[in-house]
A and B are shown apart, each in its own frame.
Chain A
């Protein structure tokens, strides 16, 4: 298999997963797209190391995580860090779905803001990408027990945020009814 075909099937095919991961760290779509492109080019430049990589998925996630952290450090130094998420709008035209999407987007943003960078990584990989504990542990090079502990903490925040929104009637779906 040529290098380019291997690159396409193994790494480029995971572009959306890398992009979503970058988005939740950088909070802007353009910045996340740039980080994804830069990461894939870096992966290509490291093609001499491909045969030593046991888990390409975890390896590419580590590269984009480092890329995002570098970008965050630089943007914080330059005081250009985006404080809140650039809202992603639902492509669904149904008003009920749009409203539900906005409610849940609000929950997601509030939870993310309370998590540390490591907890956020665990949360994204589990809640959004549906990775197993083992896959997350390999990606982050931590133990499965640590993954569970971080997940417990982030779900605690998720539960609290959901309860807060339900109890205070912030939900747009309810206010519209």
Chain B
């Protein structure tokens, strides 16, 4: 390419007036004619060469991807655990509401004598204490039942992890076998 054209492009380059396509052409021409250039054009050709090299020299190592993926996967499993807790908590709320709204009134209706005694608990502190104790015992049983649900969920999580691990090992074995072949 004529040096006149290169000099025109050089001037436009300094002014920031080259279009994207023109600039790509300019870079390419300077690269091709690098040995025959002098002065500013030579300096710029070297500059372009260096900016291209920066892309290769400044790059991350191969294990970077694995590090990031490991981190985001641990975030994901953390979120799963949290969602199991949310389910467990919801189950507990439903059980408590069912007890309060349905079981408790039923038990009151089934024993009218007890109901009469209940109305006068202020005059009979021992009875009140017994009633409170029985109610708290029932609540404790309900809480334990909720906890059992959580245990079964944890068992499910452990089983899931084991399956994933064995699947990964199987996959790795297959890959090793393929590499050996």
Interface residues, chain A, with chain B CB atoms under 8 Å away: 4, 7-8, 12, 15-16, 19-20, 23, 29, 33, 36-37, 40-41, 44-45, 88-92, 100-101, 103-105, 107-108, 127-128, 130, 132-133, 148-149, 151-152, 155-156, 158-159, 162, 166
Contact = CB atoms under 8 A, between A and B. Distances in A.
A162 B57 CA distance: 22
Interface-centre pick from B17, B44, B58, B65 (highest chain A CB count, 10 A): B58
Interface string B147-160: 00000000000000
A91 B55 contact: no
A74 to B, nearest CB: 21
10 contacts: A12-B65, A36-B60, A90-B53, A90-B57, A92-B53, A104-B51, A108-B50, A108-B51, A130-B24, A159-B14
B19 to A, nearest CB: 8
Interface residues of B, number: 31
Contacts of A108: 50-51, 54
A162 B43 contact: yes
A6 to B, nearest CB: 12
Nearest to A173: B46
A132 B20 contact: yes
Given A41-B68, A90-B57, A91-B56, A152 B50 contact: no
How would you classify the secondary structure of chain B's contact residues: helix, strand, loop or mixed?
A: helix
A101 B68 contact: no
Contacts of A12: 65, 68-69
Contact of A16 (B55, B69, B71): B55
* Smallest CB-CB A-B distances: 5 pairs: A104-B50, A152-B16, A151-B16, A132-B20, A16-B59
A152 B13 CA distance: 9
A19 B13 contact: no
Given A45-B75, A162-B44, 20 more contacts: A12-B69, A19-B59, A20-B55, A29-B58, A33-B64, A41-B68, A88-B57, A101-B50, A101-B57, A103-B46, A104-B46, A104-B49, A107-B50, A128-B55, A132-B20, A133-B20, A148-B16, A149-B16, A152-B16, A158-B47
A162 B47 contact: yes
Contacts of A156: 14
Contacts of B65: 8, 12, 15
A152 B68 contact: no
Contacts of B46: 100, 103-104
Contacts of B44: 162
B75 A152 contact: no
B4 interface: no
Contacts of A29: 58
Nearest to A89: B57
B54 A128 contact: yes
B119 interface: no
